[in-house]
Amino acid sequence: MKSALPISENGAATPNHLTAGGTFHVQITAPRPRLHISADDHRQTGFAGLLLPGELARSLDVVARLDSGVTGFKDRDRGAGAGELLVSLAETMLAGGNHLAHLDVLRKDEASAQLRCVAELPARTTAGQLLRRFGEAQVAAAMRVISAAGIGHDAHLELDPAAPVTLDIDATTTEVYGRKKEGAVYNYKGQRSYQSQVITWAERNRSVAAKLLEGSAAEAPTAPDLIDAALSALPPDHGQVSFRADTAYYAMDVLHRCRDRGIRFAVAVKRSKPMWRLAATVDPDRWQQAKDMPQAEVAETVYSPQDWQHEPLRLLIRRVRLDRDDIGDSPRCRRRATVPKEQLTLLLGGEVDHVYGYSFIITDKSGNAVNLEYWHRHRTDIEERFRDVKLDCGLIHLPCGTMNANRGWMVAALLATNMMAMLSDTLMKAAPHNQTPAEEEPREPRYRTTPTMRRWLIAVPGRLVRGGRKLQLRLPASLWWADEFMRTYDMLRAFST
């Protein structure tokens, strides 16, 4: 490697044309700069990308719709309403905040205030007081409004409202540490906690219904009402609705509610002696290779649960071959619970070289058993949404002392992840096509996780300047995805025209 300037015998740099065959110095690191650092530029912001969720919220009129839809929240004209409170918290969470104190951090960002949907953020003490007004009725009303806003966004993107719908239900635990937190109790893991029970619309990656429970509460008793709430949050002309759930929701009340509402279901069944016996009766020739799961096979039989008042249901059985090395030495190894105890004893004693671990799914859906098992396996996509809302949108904490205030915080976190999902859809629609016109097909949205979206669209540095009677946002020249950012903004602006 050669540098632009050669080095003479005395070590001084000399022009290339004065040196022939000399030694060239390679500059590896930049010289140490002499800097004076100050933090006094009110025109700069590290979160210029808050322009995008702000424009999204403005185009869907989220603040006004929440103010009118969440009744019993505000009893006087002055002060923040439910819309300003939830949207300001969601914008803070989109910027990476996960505590009420982070409202004060964003309040000091004068530049981004001109870009956000809610310019004047409430102080953290004020927000904490307002959150206490969220009872169960206000949570349900807010989720209906948020879902309706999502449907409006789908219409802007020209997504088919009559497409089939998949509803996934699950609950995630948020551990807390304050001994006086109302409703926080110890769960089976010994954690003082709350549970956020959520139903997501799998195809849209958005939450449509939610409820905050005590940490030790059973999930199934509250599921039927939550199913009704989720169903009412879908477009009026939606397609066939399917419901997926794990073993916590295997209850006749849940199955009957799905049947009464015309919802097709697929619910995992707890492993038990009757299930083991049914698996043993399956003809060996009926096992088929599972899709995208090595060493796994699928078969089916019929089963009529006790108190089920309709036709016998399909029981899908998945078995996975397990060798001794696949079974951990710890008694708490999760795979051990999938193997009948008699077979596990034989394997651990060295009398057999392999056993099978079983999973059971009860369903009233039609179709190939292998494809149905593969479809139900993807109910775990809701875990990705939980990871987003907990690690990246504030639900890792439930910071308030009252149950109602923590309900409001949960709704704000779900609003933030829903807004990020809508921004992800918009980004994909706004992205240019690489195919030729003859090969071009409608571009379907593809979900991107919150950390990716925050890095690409939210945590973008920028400077606000005024000139020619216009407010200009100037992004760094090194922002190589600036075109995608601007196309997304242009598409959001077009929604409100």
Structure confidence by residue, pLDDT tens digits, 237-273? 999 999 999 999 999 999 999 999 999 999 999 999 8
Any alpha helices (H) in 312-357, and if so which ranges? 341-348
pLDDT at 432: 67
- Whether residue 4 is predicted with pLDDT greater than 50 in this model: the reply is no
From residue 12, alpha-carbon distances to 8, 22, 23, 32, 242 in Å are 5, 12, 12, 19, 77
pLDDT at 329: 78
- Whether residue 77 is predicted with pLDDT greater than 90 in this model: the reply is no
Q: Which residue has the higher pLDDT, 155 or 329?
A: 155
- Whether residue 456 is predicted with pLDDT greater than 90 in this model: the reply is no
pLDDT at 437: 43
Determine contact, residues 207/172, Cβ cutoff 8 Å.
Answer: no
Percentage of the chain beyond pLDDT 90 is: 65
30-39, 192-201, 300-309: segment of lowest average pLDDT: 30-39
Give kind and range of the element (H or E) at residue 107: helix 101-107
pLDDT at 124: 93
pLDDT at 361: 97
Please give the backbone phi and psi of residue 208, each rounded to the nearest 5 degrees, phi first.
-120, -15
pLDDT digits (tens, 9 = 90+) for 130-186: 999 999 999 999 999 999 999 999 999 999 999 999 999 999 999 999 888 999 999
- How much is the average pLDDT of 277-291? 93
104-113, 210-219, 385-394, 481-490: segment of lowest average pLDDT: 385-394
120-129, 179-188, 320-329, 437-446: segment of lowest average pLDDT: 437-446
- Whether residue 303 is predicted with pLDDT greater than 60 in this model: the reply is yes
From residue 18, alpha-carbon distances to 4, 5, 8, 24, 451 in Å are 13, 10, 9, 13, 54
pLDDT at 24: 62
- Whether residue 482 is predicted with pLDDT greater than 80 in this model: the reply is yes
Pairing mode, if any, of strands 313-323 and 354-363?
antiparallel
Q: Which residue has the higher pLDDT, 489 or 72?
A: 489
97-106, 331-340, 431-440: segment of lowest average pLDDT: 431-440
164-173, 340-349, 410-419: segment of lowest average pLDDT: 340-349
- How much is the average pLDDT of 397-417? 95
The beta strand positions in 122-251, using DSSP E, are 165-175, 185-186, 192-201, 206-214, 241-245
pLDDT at 94: 94
Under DSSP, the state recorded for 11 is: S
Q: Which two tokens stand for residue 425?
A: 């859809």
- How much is the average pLDDT of 280-286? 92
pLDDT at 16: 47
Supply the mean pLDDT for the chain: 88
- How much is the average pLDDT of 116-134? 93
- How much is the average pLDDT of 314-336? 87
10-24, 36-50, 60-74: segment of lowest average pLDDT: 10-24
- How much is the average pLDDT of 417-437? 78
- How much is the average pLDDT of 87-98? 94
From residue 232, alpha-carbon distances to 136, 168, 256 in Å are 16, 15, 17
- How much is the average pLDDT of 36-47? 88
- Whether residue 433 is predicted with pLDDT greater than 80 in this model: the reply is no
Per-residue HEC secondary structure of 367-420 comes to CCHHHHHHHHHHHHHHHHHHHHHHHCCCCCCCCCCCHHHHHHHHHHHHHHHHHH
pLDDT at 332: 77
Q: Which two tokens stand for residue 404?
A: 């109602």
Q: Which residue has the higher pLDDT, 122 or 497?
A: 122
CA distance 317 to 282: 9
pLDDT at 400: 93
- Whether residue 7 is predicted with pLDDT greater than 90 in this model: the reply is no
- How much is the average pLDDT of 191-213? 95
